[in-house]
Amino acid sequence: MVEQRPFGRTGEQISSLTLGAMNFGARANPDHEDGIRIIHRALDEGITAIDTADVYSHGESETIVGKALAGGRRDDVFLASKFHGQVGDNPRHRGNSRRWIFQAVEHSLRRLNTDWIDLYQVHRPEPDTDFDETLGALTDLVRQGKIRYIGTSTFEPSAIVEGQWIAQRRGRERVVAEQPPYSILARGVEREVLPVAQRYGLAVIPWSPLAGGWLSGRYHGGLDTPISLRAERMPARYDPRVPANAAKLAVIDELTALAEEAGLSLIHLAIAFVLQHPAVTSAIIGPRTLAHLESQLGAAKVTLSADVLDRIDAIVPPGTTLNAADAGYQPPSLTDPAQRRRGAVAQPGGAR
């Protein structure tokens, strides 16, 4: 059975593996019955936490999770969902405002077929929206009993601290969990996010411990890596011709050899690495098939030796993210040139 760990300082506990439902629905696996089977298998193996979001297949993922938890299984599951991204074609169906949060939670509750969501998470920051506006709305939902806890996902460390100060100074419910990207290939959160989470007693539920599939065993350096559908959709993260992705391929060969020496699959090495960080509460696994689930479950029982961890550090140094595109979020201070150029005026043709 999967180990249960404290969920921050809330007194709650969740399994060290969280079942991520992103791949349920039209995005990856449209077979609802298959998705239900995967969910039931995970629950039978001791996974007690499920994570989804309203944007996953435009709500279809939540619907599948709701179906799977019908018939008495809801009470034993720690259910997490998220809001922020646009759902459907209406551009007003998105964001971190009070107006949308109040609408979004009702839609999610209906799709999930439940009266409450255990952890309701802000899927990404929205710098143009006062975070107090967001926390105020979420606080009201906690007090109404529609959500139990508030979380964030892929927040900068300064924003995590800001949320704690807002809660203290303005009487809001406190954010108790952060969901960052974390894997052997994307270790940037080790610099500040994980230490800040520890300092404030936040639960940490990393997404993509397999680095978006890079650590699944499918990718190998030194071969003619095919251009996949993922590479066509997200070339910055998956096209092997991008130098940062080529660097990942080279590292994967070293990690694969290390896993073999340790008598492990690369999947188990990767997930166990994430679980062994003292700040981490539970790692999100996102299987598309039952076989994917089975290949990942055993990682919860793996403990890596100090020697193996030292060798991982030598291959990918602590705090290093090989490809910045894997960080999950880039603040406007990096993406908007106008925020870095005093008095700059856009010129025709893009010149400044």
Residue 162's closest CA among 204, 121, 203, 127? 127
120 counts as catalytic: no
Burial class of residue 216, CB neighbours in 10 A (0-12, 13-18, 19+): middle
Separation of alpha carbons 101 and 173, rounded Å: 15
**56 and 21 Cβ atoms separated by less than 8 Å:** yes
**238 and 248 Cβ atoms separated by less than 8 Å:** no
Separation of alpha carbons 2 and 253, rounded Å: 29
Q: Which structure tokens are listed for 336?
A: 């908007």
- Name the amino acid, one letter, at 103: Q
- Name the amino acid, one letter, at 156: E
Q: What are phi and psi of 235, to 5 degrees?
A: -60, -35
Which of the residues 56, 120, 182, 238 is marked catalytic? 56
Element (H, E) at 17: strand 17-20
Separation of alpha carbons 23 and 101, rounded Å: 24
Sign of the C-alpha dihedral computed for residues 116, 122, 128 and 129 taken in this order:
positive
**19 and 50 Cβ atoms separated by less than 8 Å:** yes
Q: Which structure tokens are listed for 114?
A: 């439940």
HSE-CB for 161 with a 13 A CA cutoff: 9
Catalytic residues: 56
